[in-house]
Structure 1
Amino acid sequence: MKKFYMVLAVTVLMVFVFVAPVYAKVTFGSTQMTPVAEREFLLNQISSFSKSSGISVELLNFEYPDLLSRLEAEHKTGKITINLVADLQANLYMMAAEGLFEDLKNVTIPGRTFIKTFEQYSYQGGQKVFIPWIQATYVMAINKKAFDYLPAGLKKEDVMNGTGKWTYDALLAWSKNLMEKTKMPQLGFPLGPKSLWHRFLHGCIYPSYTGTQASKFNSGEALVMWAYLKDLFKYVHPACTTWDNMDQPLLRNEVMIAWDHTARVKQAVVERPNDFVIAPVPRGPKGRGYLVVLTGLAIPKGASMDESVKLIDFLTSPKTQVAILESVGFFPVIQEASEAMPEGALKILTQGVVAQSSAADSIVCIAPGLGQYGGEFNEIYRTAFNRIVFSNESASKVVTELSQRLSKLYKQAGIPID
């Protein structure tokens, strides 16, 4: 009898082993959310997905060159192990140009209304390269007290909604008014060594005045812009060269108006949501230029798609999009996320970001995919600013000289100058 029960137990165990479900797997290669805290957050989200879907997910973090090499090798051998990729838009474009990704135009994610601008930018050469996932951008953070000093002809609604009246000239008049009335400069930019000041120059004000980030670097329109910046900096706080982030100067009440990356002004709104609002950047003669950091989700060519699409569905759901903003600071790419956003600081941030991305005069810019030459690209713009605005050198001479270096960088990187 004991032997019978032993045989029965072994038989039951064998049956269980053979009928137990074999979970499908997604190997998710990402260049994003690599810092420890961000990776831990993403792993927790993925774990929740796996429990509800029965699909296991392995998250692999890469630097872009390593991810590219891995995908190229797998594509060449036909042995595809990575079946979902997250990376910046520019990098996804370059990989798609090598034929490494599936065309996703027939992939539909129900219940998602992707921001129109991002949906357009997910295509390259007729191919839908990626599904938008997360975004970050650069905005104006404003102490509500500043609206008491608006110049004639500009209303709070113009600033908050990004109307045609919210221009760089209006910012100059507002900053002048603030300084005259408060006896202190109230406009702030981050110009510290670890700041993102170069992003304002090439991604915001250059396209607003010239229509492009780089191809009209030494144009007549650019000279008008440099003359404007020299005027504007009469009203910029002199401590700006020590600031890497603008949240603390805002919280210390050193300035009332600031420009910076959303993640770098977030803390001011979180700590004092009743005091600050987020607004679109001003517009220039050509439109409202602003830089967007857009991350997309792509599927390598030849990879199993069903499980990957289910993970994409999860990662772009309103609940996950809101959780990403709350925990990591990247903004949603779907309209439904705004409805799921609780009242408070993050809703204030989201409203400002959505108002900017919805502006009719938007000139959306993406940091050029210059690879190893990106650092030198950034330095060219910062050098131009320092020499023209701080050292009072001839703008025409400086931009003519530096434009040659800029053109050379694009040629070395093998991409057309925008």
Structure 2
Amino acid sequence: MRRRGFRNMRWLFIGLLVSVGVTVGVASPDLTFMSTQLRPITEAEWVRTVLLPPFTEETGIRVVFLGVEEPELTTRVLAEYEAGKGSLDLVGDLHGNFLVYYKALKDLSAELSQLEALGDRTLAKTFVELGRIDGAQVYIPWMQATYVLVANKKALAYMPSRVATEGLPYLTYDELLEWAKNIYQATGEKRLGIPAGPKSLLCRFLHGYLYPSFTGAQVKKFNSPEAVAMWQYLKELWEYVNPAVLTLDSMDTALLSEEVWIAWDHTARVKTAILERPDDFVVLPAPAGPKGRGVITVLAGLAIPKTSPDPAGAYRLIEYLTRPSTQAMILQGVGFFPVVAEAAGAVPTGGLKVLADGVAAQSAAPDLLVSIIPGGLGARSDEFKKVYVDAFTEIVLRGRPIEEVLAQQGALLDALFRETGAPIPVPDVYLP
């Protein structure tokens, strides 16, 4: 009996320790930050060992970073919202994912005003507007990946004379055509590169750059008079594209070999060339068309759940993560580009600065027309890409009538969105 009583007292004592929050050797975190971004093991380790320690040292706030797949974060945020109580203080996710659970997120309009009042950072206006959903600022822009033009400095001598040469010029598609034509007439070489190999990102150039720039939409205006004009333009432009691009999946090698002097591609697919020879290249904003400067942005944001145990602490972490110096650290550490204009000035000289300057100029373009890669297509996302690539093959390479091809492929595109129930992407949603 005495032994049993001792055991009961021991468990009672442990229970009392737990009830008053005493733990042995384990400290509870002050903030829990869950993100679908920076999820790979090496990136997550970098976040924990490099990105977050300065914040903890400065504020005394400890952070647990949880990198998870998109469904887990969405399920967790919605479950905590429905329960009326949660443990997640801050979440990081892509724009398209926020659309699923934005009603569970705090309106950050006041926090955005606080950030802007600091006077040391200028968040890209277009990205801020994307974060405003149903009248609430549901997320603060955090970081981005995108696609740009890269030019060998040898090509600058052939730029159209009306293009300003001070700073980074904002070209139109007509000026890109004239530029490529000038090079061909002077050298006899086709020096423009747009990757069109089997694993290239040609589809992104078509649906996210050309279509919005010429029609104002990725999907809604696929078969339209504006689209016909766009394809006529592309056929003319393709006369000055290096024929080798049909076998190339990326432009870095062609830039280094100087097969091409001007190239469009994802930043990750031109990065090697620029890092190896930073003094030989400039990075330019994508060209603009009649409807604006269409660009694809893979935009990540930071949001505070309505059930966050410490929204004030979460705001302090947002403030830290959007500082120009922190944004530059993220670029150097994991390759995501800043959404803050001043961050380019915080990047050391070299290839990354060349890239950062170009991306910053593109993000600050007054005629920027952001495209978000369509979501909700699930296993049929490849069918979406195929519509655009097949249209390119039939119209540009095989010379089939534009209207005929657009009618055929447009019917497939309409059926795809109807059958999947996928939402119409940005910028289409802004059209009547």
TM over 0.5: yes
Number of residue pairs matched by the alignment: 396
Q: Amino acid of the residue matched to residue 386 of structure 1?
A: T
Q: Does 1:143 align with 2:121?
A: no
Q: Distance in 1 between matches of 2:235 and 2:42?
A: 41
Q: Amino acid of the residue matched to residue 156 of structure 2?
A: F
CA contact (8 A) 1:24 1:54 kept: no
Q: Kindly state the Cα deviation for residue 249 of structure 1 after the two structures are TM-superposed.
A: 1.2
Query: Match of 2:308?
Result: 303
Q: 214-223 vs 304-313, which deviates more?
A: 304-313
Query: Match of 2:351?
Result: 345
Q: Amino acid of the residue matched to residue 264 of structure 1?
A: R
Aligned positions of 1:148-187 closer than 5 A: 148-151=157-160, 153-157=162-166, 160-162=168-170, 166-187=171-192
- Residues 118-154 of structure 1 show CA distances to partners (whole Å, capped at 9, x for unaligned) of 2222211111110110012211100000122234544
Q: Kindly state the Cα deviation for residue 81 of structure 1 after the two structures are TM-superposed.
A: 2.3
What TM-score results when the alignment is normalised by the length of structure 1? 0.88
CA contact (8 A) 2:339 2:360 kept: no
Query: Match of 2:253?
Result: 248
Q: Does 1:388 align with 2:395?
A: yes
Match of 2:342 among 336, 339, 342: 336
Aligned positions of 1:54-203 closer than 5 A: 54-96=60-102, 99-107=103-111, 108-109=114-115, 110=118, 111-151=120-160, 153-157=162-166, 160-162=168-170, 166-203=171-208
- Residues 13-44 of structure 1 show CA distances to partners (whole Å, capped at 9, x for unaligned) of x9xx89x9966422222111223332222222
CA contact (8 A) 1:23 1:55 kept: no
Query: Match of 2:423?
Result: 415
Query: Match of 2:12?
Result: none
Query: Match of 1:3?
Result: none
CA contact (8 A) 1:209 1:225 kept: yes
Aligned positions of 1:366-385 closer than 5 A: 366-372=372-378, 373-385=380-392
Q: Distance in 2 between matches of 1:133 and 1:340?
A: 16
Q: 73-82 vs 257-266, which deviates more?
A: 73-82
- Residues 346-398 of structure 1 show CA distances to partners (whole Å, capped at 9, x for unaligned) of 22222222222222222222222234143322222112112211222222112
Q: Amino acid of the residue matched to residue 389 of structure 1?
A: V
1:76 to 1:407, Cα distance in 2 relative to 1, 3 A: same
Q: Distance in 1 between matches of 2:293 and 2:58?
A: 43
Query: Match of 2:367?
Result: 361
1:328 to 1:100, Cα distance in 2 relative to 1, 3 A: same
Q: Kindly state the Cα deviation for residue 250 of structure 1 after the two structures are TM-superposed.
A: 0.5
Q: Distance in 2 between matches of 1:193 and 1:59?
A: 37
Query: Match of 1:26?
Result: 31
CA contact (8 A) 2:374 2:424 kept: no
Q: Amino acid of the residue matched to residue 243 of structure 2?
A: P
Q: Distance in 2 between matches of 1:393 and 1:354?
A: 39
Q: Distance in 1 between matches of 2:63 and 2:146?
A: 29
Q: Distance in 2 between matches of 1:268 and 1:353?
A: 16
Q: 376-385 vs 42-51, which deviates more?
A: 42-51
Q: Does 1:210 align with 2:194?
A: no
Q: Amino acid of the residue matched to residue 225 of structure 1?
A: M
CA contact (8 A) 2:338 2:360 kept: no
Q: Kindly state the Cα deviation for residue 207 of structure 1 after the two structures are TM-superposed.
A: 1.0
Q: 248-257 vs 325-334, which deviates more?
A: 325-334
- Residues 134-179 of structure 1 show CA distances to partners (whole Å, capped at 9, x for unaligned) of 0122111000001222345445349x231xxx22122122212222
CA contact (8 A) 1:101 1:129 kept: yes
CA contact (8 A) 1:41 1:327 kept: yes
Q: Does 1:267 align with 2:272?
A: yes
Q: 271-280 vs 261-270, which deviates more?
A: 261-270
Q: Amino acid of the residue matched to residue 276 of structure 1?
A: F
CA contact (8 A) 1:28 1:84 kept: yes
- Residues 278-311 of structure 1 show CA distances to partners (whole Å, capped at 9, x for unaligned) of 1111221222211122110011221121222222
Q: Amino acid of the residue matched to residue 362 of structure 2?
A: Q
Q: Amino acid of the residue matched to residue 94 of structure 2?
A: L
Q: Amino acid of the residue matched to residue 104 of structure 2?
A: L
Give the root-mean-square deviation of aligned CA atoms. Answer: 2.3
Unaligned residue ranges in structure 2 (runs of 5+): 1-16
Aligned positions of 1:7-26 closer than 5 A: 24-26=29-31
CA contact (8 A) 2:339 2:363 kept: no
Q: Distance in 1 between matches of 2:415 and 2:321?
A: 39
> Secondary structure of the residue that 2:239 maps to in structure 1?
coil
Q: Distance in 1 between matches of 2:422 and 2:317?
A: 34
CA contact (8 A) 1:161 1:355 kept: no
Match of 2:328 among 291, 302, 322: 322
Q: Distance in 2 between matches of 1:32 and 1:176?
A: 41
Match of 2:236 among 231, 237, 240: 231
> Secondary structure of the residue that 1:258 maps to in structure 2?
strand
Q: Distance in 2 between matches of 1:40 and 1:244?
A: 30
Q: Amino acid of the residue matched to residue 208 of structure 2?
A: G
Query: Match of 1:38?
Result: 43
Determine what percentage of the aligned residue pairs are the same residue: 46
Match of 1:289 among 285, 290, 294: 294
